[in-house]
Amino acid sequence: MTTLESILRALRGAGDQGVAGTQVSSALGISRTAIWSHIQELRQLGYDIEATSHRGYRLLRVPDSLLGEDLMSQLPQERLIGRSITIYRETASTNLLVDQRAMHGESEGWVVFAESQTRGRGRLGRSWVSPAGKGLWFSVLLRPPLRPPEMTQLTVISATALSRAIRQVTGLQPEIKWPNDILIQGKKVAGVLTEMSAETDRVSHAALGIGINVNLEASDFPSELQPVATSLQIEKGEPIHRSTLAVALLKALDEDYARICKGSFQEVAREWADQCITLGKRVRIHQLDHSYLGVAESIDPEGALMIRTEHGELERVTGGDVTLEKEP
Ligand code: BT5
């Protein structure tokens, strides 16, 4: 744990009571002058920290910018996802950064956020709009104990964790559209891009990329997306604190990833099914070169969508796009 993270943990732990400089300095084994210079550093970053002789240091307000140490200071000490967190001001794509670091042996659970992405990626070569300071654009490095055909499980747990965290922090009611869309009132508010590097039978690492439109305004979306995309701020009618949401989401992801690592995917799948708007609906499945109609019946133990086609056959869908069809 870095000193900055420990100081933030102490400040948050003390809450309104405040914490004495001497107490922090003896707990961390560093001088009061060193603590003071870290407090100054935090103030420069926009943290409002009161310093008085009778109450010591008190955290009054935190900025909306992302700081790795601050996110880590709010996560449980025992965790896999978010063991280490890096924030970039700008990058091409956070999934790309995960790939590069994974090749150099970075440990599982590393998380990288970017305040903006210049080449944010969607699935199937599509792009993801990621303007500066308005969303949560991040990726997690995982080394999952899954075989390549089971990788849809990762998308399913991410959508479930995302939906839970959004509900907890904003009170909004998100819906999940298989496999990777989070919608509010029918408009897309977040998406998941799971990319893996696999050998024949084993996934060597995965980049789990998540994009959430937090405080975008309608004018932040290109005109063609305005009818189909939304943000939490637009839906809630007020800005949402990004780091509060980031912490809730990292906790939720850590819980759900632990569940699949111990083979309890079905538990997450049940929670997923409760919020999924795709199940029970007439859908059109779009594959690379063709599309067909059917009814979405269930997800199977590997996370694939089971479709009853018009001809009565059961098809297993692991990729491509699904659109909801009007009932005949
Ligand atoms: C996704 O793809 O929904 C996956 C999005 C994953 C983004 C994250 S951000 C962090 C990490 N790093 C990356 O480079 N990517 C991940 P897909 O289902 O293919 O949806 C892409 C389509 O959604 C685009 O073709 C647009 O139509 C639309 N779209 C693009 N940006 C959007 C936005 N910000 N909000 C809503 N819709 C958007």
pLDDT, position 47: 97
Q: Would you say 196 and 139 are in contact if contact means Cβ atoms under 8 Å apart?
A: no
Q: What is the pLDDT of residues 57-69, one digit of tens each?
A: 999 999 999 999 9
Reading across the β-sheet that carries 314-317, which strands appear in turn?
A: 314-317, 305-309, 291-299, 282-286, 321-324
* Class of the CATH domain delimited by 3-61: mainly alpha
Q: Would you say 257 and 142 are in contact if contact means Cβ atoms under 8 Å apart?
A: yes
- The answer to whether the CB of 159 is under 6 A from ligand 1 is no
**Which atom of ligand 1 approaches the CA of 135 most closely?**
34
| Domains 3-61 and 68-275 alike in fold | no
Q: What is the pLDDT of residues 270-281, one digit of tens each?
A: 888 888 999 999
Could you give the CA distance from residue 191 to residue 179 in angstroms, rounded to a whole number? Answer: 9
Q: Would you say 124 and 192 are in contact if contact means Cβ atoms under 8 Å apart?
A: no
Contacts with 81 (C-beta within 8 Å, 6 or more apart), sequence order? 109, 111, 140, 250, 253, 254, 257
Q: What is the pLDDT of residues 213-251, one digit of tens each?
A: 999 999 999 999 999 999 999 999 999 999 999 999 999
Please tell me the residue having the least CA distance from ligand 1 atom 2: 122
- The answer to whether the CB of 95 is under 6 A from ligand 1 is yes
Is pLDDT above 70 for 328? no
Q: What is the pLDDT of residues 70-111, one digit of tens each?
A: 999 999 999 999 999 999 999 999 999 999 999 999 999 999
- The answer to whether the CB of 194 is under 6 A from ligand 1 is no
**CATH number listed for the domain at residues 282-324:** 2.30.30.100
**Which atom of ligand 1 approaches the CA of 93 most closely?**
14
Percent of the chain with pLDDT over 70: 99
Confidence band, pLDDT 50/70/90 cuts, at residue 290: confident
Please tell me the residue having the least CA distance from ligand 1 atom 15: 121
pLDDT, position 238: 98
Is pLDDT above 80 for 192? yes
Please tell me the residue having the least CA distance from ligand 1 atom 36: 229
Q: Where are the domains of the chain?
A: 3-61, 68-275, 282-324
According to CATH, the superfamily of the domain at 68-275 is Bira Bifunctional Protein; Domain 2 (3.30.930.10)
Q: Which of 118, 128, 162 to mutate to test the pocket of ligand 1 (most atoms within 8 A of CB)?
A: 128
> Minimal CA–CA distance to 112: which of 125, 101, 127, 123?
101
What does the block give as tokens for 252? Answer: 């939720």
Please tell me the residue having the least CA distance from ligand 1 atom 25: 126
How far does residue 85's CA lie from ligand 1's centre (Å)?
22
Could you give the CA distance from residue 122 to residue 128 in angstroms, rounded to a whole number? Answer: 5
23-59 in b/e burial notation, b at 16+ Cβ within 10 A? ebbeebeeeeeebeebbeebeeeebebeeeeeebbbb
pLDDT, position 84: 96
- The answer to whether the CB of 138 is under 6 A from ligand 1 is yes
How far does residue 94's CA lie from ligand 1's centre (Å)?
12
pLDDT, position 130: 98
- Any idea what DSSP says for residue 327? P
Could you give the CA distance from residue 193 to residue 208 in angstroms, rounded to a whole number? Answer: 6
